[in-house]
Structure 1
Amino acid sequence: MHLAFPLFVLFILGNGVYTHICLWAPMQRGQFDISTPGAHPCYRKIGPCGNVNSSSSSPRTSLVAGSKYKVEFQQNLNHYYTGKPGALDISFAVGLNPAEGDFHVLHSFSDYNAMNQITQTNFSVEIDLPSQTCDECVLRVRYLSNNPEEDDHGTVFHQCSDVKLTQSSSNALKPKKSEEKTEKPIVQHNEDPHDCCAPESYTNAFFHIIPAIDYHSEGLIFYDKKVQQMRVIVTVNGGRGNTTFDSTFDMWMNFTSGRQYYYNRNTGSCDLYGLDYWNDWCFGNKYNQTEDFVAADVKCTSPYGKTRNCNQWRNGEFLFETLSESACFPSSISRPSGERIDYIKGAAAPIPPSTFVPNSVCMKQTKVKHASVGWMRMHA
């Protein structure tokens, strides 16, 4: 596990089916809603486009063929699986409703371990659009979780957008070039002596900021591998309201019972969820994570650790740091956008069992808002 909740805004799930990936640039087919991570329009599992078809009159986003374009989407829940870490990708196909075999991948990157599946992580990925023009074509984003706990209609989540590729005045005068498909080199992930795991019984505080949306939160994390339980307390944007954007929350995660409770302190409401598999708080390929080691004993980037040194790992745009002089204590996780989580006051010590006991309101909750198919079979 890398973090109790990563570089995203943390929300509770909404009612009904569960959201896993949403696409807004270009806008996805059909309805769209990311106000909460449970919005019905964003759950689309059946390939190639989530069982949502297009028509000749469907809205289309007009883009310039051969140009660069930033695809913006959200991994709305995290289902990282250490047994076989997954990936996210962006692909393209020509046609109104192309078949799976018509899509070719333009960009892909590894999934990352958020541990807490109740997460929202926004991505902005620049791609090179195909140089061919088309009146009816599809740009698609997928989340390939590989998580067997999420296998109802497979383990892949889809979101498609209808687009039109036009010819600009600049490329209209240029001779057409034949499309060349280049194979991307296979990245060899190697273990490193610095790969490590946080102490089995560990607590720390954190600060999380997302400058682009003026988001900030702070809280505490309690992590106990031996009993396979976690607790997270988080105050979002001051915690003076009742919504997912400005309240204070408790989360209790018991991976033995498979239950996670999400309690809003300001409203007194509690929601029950079913959990995926437990993941250790580890860094590096030695522990089947998806980060590659970058550097040892360099100055920490955290503003709370300027005088300390860190070891660094990287997964795509995510930079992970641990304190080099301690037992793999997390220091920070950051992205080029300025979004970051900084960890402070880490301590390896036994955690009282009472820390992991949900309050009485949660213990009375029997309605499940989200659970995998396997979880429902075992706990229904």
Structure 2
Amino acid sequence: MFSFFALFLLMIVYQNVQSHLCVWAPVQRGGFDISTPGSHICYRKPGPCGNVNASSTSPRTTLTAGSRYRVEFQQNLNHYYTGQPGSLDVSFAVGLNPSESDFQVLHSFSDYNAMNQITQTNFTVSVNLPNQPCDQCVLRVRYLSNNPEEEDHGTTFHQCSDVKLTASTDDTPHSSGPSEEISPIVPPIRQNDPHDCCAPESFTTNFFHIIPSTQSHAQGMIYYDKKAQQMRVTVSTNHGQGNTTYDGTFDMWMNFTSGYQYYYNRNSGACDLYGLDYWNDWCFGNTFNQSEDFVAADVRCSGGRSPHERCDQWRNGGFLFETYANNQCFPASISRQNGERYEYFEGRTEPIPPSVFVPNPVCVKKREVKHASPGWMRFHL
């Protein structure tokens, strides 16, 4: 643990403002806020609906029974656990406030290793709605993290949306468009592969991130040190001159020994303190208990920044992971079927000065914790 934390441990104030899952299509009960990672309004844990009940006058989204509907939501913080990778699912139940046993899973897919807790990943999942009209019914999204560090009221996060299904006026199948997640619910068969690998124990790499659907982009640098269990990410989004996650410049310091992660806004000077989950290596493939399945070896990289490079590939649902085939398992890209992609380039294994992992002094003085697991709180307070 950093010695300069000692003076602040007893003065930290825990705010129960954790946020992990937000649904806006159909809109979740009680509204939503995805302007920042860790938004209070989206943290709901107890099943079946996060302790948020509906009434007969609650707002409802009207959908067509038997149609195909695109559910849109965000994993507001990532809690990937290599010990037992989790999943996300969409389910449906009839009734005003149905019980857990009433829900039927319509679609399920694996969690993915974002290599960083502070991520905001948007998902679009097409589901076939039941072909039976109902005035009061519920569409639910869950994040089953399986992460022991998130064990308060269980390790699953719930969001429920109140809907009404009306009868179709014709026999034509309805659809709201394509989706990145349309595979059937089939439990994956995990297999090891000789190409499974881990990135160097200490490396730096530049990255570029693009999200076509929102016409946004970001660029930055990653510093990774497995032996010290520390990582730092610097990122500038869009032109980098604002104060929001959509347009700003940020530093993230992650110390998995102390359990602290800081999220610093360079432009505003504000810093948020997070309590971390377990360390997740930059490894690829089931050999290392990740949830990526090997796809191909020594193929042309999909990224535009390295058109002549060769890559090895792994897949997890809608995510394609690539490493450079002839360069020590350096990450090359993470891409999705919706066009979103991270590209990593100019990776190096040079020593990282310890000063890189020292947070800004503003962060060290931070007393309030924006997110921390119960285990983290027991350790520190």
Output the TM-score relative to the length of structure 2: 0.91
TM-fit CA distance, 1:185:
4.1
Partner of 1:4: none
TM-fit CA distance, 1:244:
2.4
Q: Distance in 1 between matches of 2:309 and 2:277?
A: 35
SS of equivalent residue, structure 1 residue 277: coil
Q: Distance in 2 between matches of 1:212 and 1:321?
A: 22
SS of equivalent residue, structure 1 residue 212: helix
Q: Distance in 1 between matches of 2:349 and 2:314?
A: 22
Partner of 1:243: 244
Q: Distance in 1 between matches of 2:238 and 2:201?
A: 30
TM-fit CA distance, 1:184:
4.7
Contact 1:16 1:38 in 2 (8 A): no
1:96 pairs with 2:100:
no
Map Cα deviations across residues 216-239 of structure 1 (whole Å, 9 max, x no partner).
110000000000000111111111
Partner of 2:370: 369
TM-fit CA distance, 1:364:
2.2
Contact 2:35 2:245 in 1 (8 A): no
Q: Which segment is superposed worse, 54-63 or 195-204?
A: 54-63
Q: Percent identity?
A: 70
TM-fit CA distance, 1:137:
0.9
Partner of 2:170: 170
1:143 pairs with 2:149:
no
What amino acid does structure 1 have at the position aligned with 2:210?
A: I
TM-fit CA distance, 1:16:
5.0
TM-fit CA distance, 1:131:
1.2
Partner of 1:85: 85
Partner of 2:264: 263
1:47 pairs with 2:47:
yes
Map Cα deviations across residues 129-188 of structure 1 (whole Å, 9 max, x no partner).
11122111111000000111111111000000111111112249xxxxxxxxxx954321
Q: Distance in 2 between matches of 1:27 and 1:83?
A: 33
Q: Which segment is superposed worse, 28-37 or 272-281?
A: 28-37
Partner of 1:204: 205
Query: How do 1:44-83 and structure 2 match up within 5 A?
Result: 44-83=44-83
Contact 2:133 2:166 in 1 (8 A): yes
TM-fit CA distance, 1:31:
2.4
Q: Distance in 2 between matches of 1:307 and 1:26?
A: 43
Contact 2:108 2:185 in 1 (8 A): no
Contact 1:60 1:163 in 2 (8 A): yes
Partner of 1:305: 306
1:29 pairs with 2:29:
yes
What amino acid does structure 1 have at the position aligned with 2:249?
A: T
Q: Distance in 1 between matches of 2:188 and 2:243?
A: 45
Map Cα deviations across residues 72-124 of structure 1 (whole Å, 9 max, x no partner).
01100100001110000000111111100010100000000112111110000
Q: Which segment is superposed worse, 29-38 or 342-351?
A: 29-38
Query: How do 1:272-291 and structure 2 match up within 5 A?
Result: 272-291=273-292
Partner of 2:115: 115
Q: Structure 2 unaligned runs (5+)?
A: 1-14, 173-183
What amino acid does structure 1 have at the position aligned with 2:282?
A: W
* RMSD of aligned alpha carbons: 1.4
What amino acid does structure 2 have at the position aligned with 1:277?
A: Y
What amino acid does structure 2 have at the position aligned with 1:298?
A: V
Distance 1:74 1:327, change over 3 A: same
Q: Distance in 1 between matches of 2:341 and 2:171?
A: 40
Contact 1:202 1:348 in 2 (8 A): yes
Partner of 1:175: none
Q: Structure 1 unaligned runs (5+)?
A: 1-14, 173-182
Contact 1:139 1:161 in 2 (8 A): yes
Contact 1:295 1:311 in 2 (8 A): yes
Runs of 4+ in 1 over 4 A off after TM superposition: none
Distance 1:249 1:184, change over 3 A: closer
Distance 1:184 1:251, change over 3 A: closer
TM-fit CA distance, 1:34:
1.8
SS of equivalent residue, structure 2 residue 170: helix
TM-fit CA distance, 1:365:
2.2
What amino acid does structure 2 have at the position aligned with 1:203?
A: T
What amino acid does structure 2 have at the position aligned with 1:350?
A: P
Between Structure 1 and Structure 2, how many residues are aligned? Answer: 356
